[in-house]
Amino acid sequence: MCSIFGIFGLQPGDDLQALRRQALEQSQRQRHRGPDWSGVYVDDGAILVHERLAIVDPAGGSQPLLSDDGQLALAVNGEIYNHQELKKELTQPYAFQTGSDCEVINALYREDEPASYLNRLNGIFAFALWDRAKQRVIIARDPIGVVPLYWGHDKQGRLCVASEMKSLSDTCADVAQFPPGHWYDSSTDTLSKYYERPWREYEAVEGVDVSLAELREAFERAVHRQLMTDVPYGVLLSGGLDSSLVAAVAARYARHRIEDDGQSEAWWPRLHSFAIGLKGSPDLAAAKVAAEMLGTVHHGFEYTFEEGLDALPEVIRHVETYDVTTIRASTPMFLLARRIKAMGVKMVLSGEGSDEIFGGYLYFHKAPNAREFHEELVRKLDALNNYDCLRANKSMMAWGVEPRVPFLDREFLDVAMKMDARHKMVDKASGRIEKAVLREAFEGYLPKEILWRQKEQFSDGVGYGWIDGLKAHAEAQVSDRVLAAADKRFPHNPPQTKEAYYYRHVFEQFFPSHAASETVPGGKSIACSSPAAIAWDASFASMADPSGRAVAGVHEQALAG
C-alpha cells in the first residue's frame, strides 16, 4: 500500500515545472504511507505522484505504472489479490512492465470499460488511471473504502486527488471523500456506483442458509489470498474473536509462499503477532493466551496513559477525524504501528469488519427481528470507511505499515452477507451470544476462552483507564461555558461532550476549512445513534459516550447472561 496524488485538467498555459514542484510538495505530506520510493509522471494534461510502500515485487513495481507505449499512466494505493487469475483471463496480449499486482488494471482498461472490470477486482485500492491519447482520467475506490481517497478542485478548477486529506485541504476549498464503490470518468464528468450486491436487500437473503463449512472455507480462502507478500508481515492480535481467527488461519498458511501457489517455503515463515495495551489490560492478557495456543512469535507492548496523551495531536493529524471512538482506538494502534515498524515488519492482517458483518456490537442484542438486524448490518458496512477502516488504515500507515482486512474480502462478504440474519441474532433464552454462527464455524481453531470471549471495543480492551483518563483530561481542558457555546464555534456537527470538543479543537488546528470538517459525518460514531437502533431502545438517543460500557444495560446484561 502506498499513496497517490494527481492533478488533472492541465491547460496549455500552465507552468508544468511549477506544477510538478507543487505536486511533489503536496504528495510529500503523505510520504509516511510510502517511504520506500517516489515516482512522478508528467505530461501536458496530467501529473501523477506515487509514494511507494513496497510489499509485492519490492525490487521492481515502481509507480506510476506505464503501458509499453507510454499512453497509460497508473497510480494505485492498494493490493489486487486476484491479479494472477485476472492475467490468465485476459483476452488480448498485454506487455507487462513489472511484477506488480496492480499493473493488471492497465491491462483490464485496454479490454473493457471500468464499470465491468472494477467488479472483477478482489482487493483494496484507490487509483487514478490517465489515458494520454484520450485525455481521460479514471478514478476509483474499493467497494468498502478500506483504502482512503480524497478529491477536490484547486483555484484554477483543476481536478486533484490524493490518498489523504492533508495533501489537498489547503488548495481545494471543496475537498471531500471520494465515495467507496464508485468510479469517476473525466470524459463524461460522471461519478458512478459500480458495487451493488443483491444481499443489500433483506428480501434477497431471507430464508438463505449458509453452512458452517462454507462460511469457514470462505474465510480461510480470504486469509490465504491476503498473505500475498514478499516482505516480513504479521498479525494484529488483541485476543478477541476476530483478530484471533485471522491469526489462527494465517498460522496454517504461513510456511509457504502464496505468490507461487505454495510451491516454495515462505521467505519469512515464522508468524509474528502484535498486541498493545495499558499495564494489566484485558487485550494483553487474552492475546498472550491466543498466541501461546497458536504458536506465534508474540510481541505484547505496554504503553502509558501519558504516552497516549502525548501522541493525540499527531494521531488526529494522521487519521483526519474528530470522531470520538475513532480517536480513542486510533491512538494505541498508532503507537503499536510504530513498534511494528521498528521491528522491520511492513504488513499486518487485522480483524476489522467482523462486527459489521455478524452484528458483534452489543447494541445488536436489542434488534427486534432479522430484517432490522440485516438492514443495520448494511448501514454499518456502508459507514466503515469513515470509522474502523479509516482508523486501521491511517493509524498504521502513519508509520508505513500496511493493514489488510480479510473479513472485508469481497468474496467472503458475498458468502457471509447472503445468510439470513436470523442466524446471526442473539438468543438470550438459549444462551446464544453475538457472532455465535462465526464462533461455531471455527470450533477447534481456538481455545474456548478465546473463541467465546465477550465482545470488547478495542478502545476498552486496551485498558479501561485509557478512556477514563481521556475524559478526565478533556474535563480539565474544556470549561462548561465553552462547551455550552460549542454550536456557535462549530455549527457543523457541534460536539456534545468535553472530550469531543477537545478533539474538534485539535482537528481544527490542522484542518481549519469548513469542507474539511464536513468530511467527518455526524462527528461521532456512537454505535447506537442510528435511527434503527434508537427505535430498538429509546435510551440510545440520549447517549453521548460511544464506549461499549456505556450502552445502557447491554454490556452488563450480556456479561451476566
The C-alpha atoms of residue 410 and residue 245 are separated, in whole angstroms, by: 18
Q: Are 503 and 494 in contact (CB under 8 A)?
A: no
Q: Which three cell numbers stand for residue 16?
A: 508544468
- In the 8-state DSSP scheme, what is residue 197? -
What the block records as the C-alpha cell of 473 is 483530561
Residue with grid cell 506510476, as numbered in its chain:
64
* Residue ranges of E strands in 150-206: 150-153, 159-162, 176-177, 182-185, 190-193
Q: Can you list the positions of beta strands (E) in 334-429?
A: 347-349, 402-404
351 marked as binding residue: yes
**Strands of 252-384, DSSP E:** 272-277, 297-302, 347-349
Residue 278 neighbours by CB under 8 Å, 6+ apart: 302, 303, 304, 305, 462, 463, 465, 466
- Which residues neighbour 69 within 8 Å (Cβ) at sequence distance 6 or greater? none
The Cα 65–Cα 300 span in angstroms is: 39
| 88: helix, strand or coil | helix
- Of 64, 18, 20, the closest CA to residue 38 belongs to 64
Q: Classify the C-alpha dihedral 437-440-445-450 as positive or negative.
A: positive
Give the catalytic positions in this structure: 2
SS3 386: helix
**Three cell numbers written together for 290:** 491466543
The residue written with cell numbers 506488480 in the block is 100
Q: In sequence order, what E strands does 187-283 have? A: 190-193, 233-236, 272-277
Q: Is 236 annotated as a binding residue?
A: yes
Helices (H), 417-494: 436-441, 448-451, 458-461, 464-477, 480-484, 486-489
The gap from C-alpha 465 to its chain's centroid, in whole angstroms, comes to 26
Q: How many CA atoms lie within 13 A of 514 on its CB side?
A: 5
Which letter does DSSP use for residue 456 in this model? -
Q: Tell me the HSE value of 205 on the side-chain side, using a 13 A CA sphere.
A: 27
Cell of 271: 508468524
Cα separation values, 57 from 60, 348, 438, Å: 5, 17, 35
Residue numbers in the known binding site for ATP are: 236, 276, 350-351
Annotated binding site: 101, 236, 276, 350-351
Going by the annotation, the residues of the binding site for L-glutamine are 101
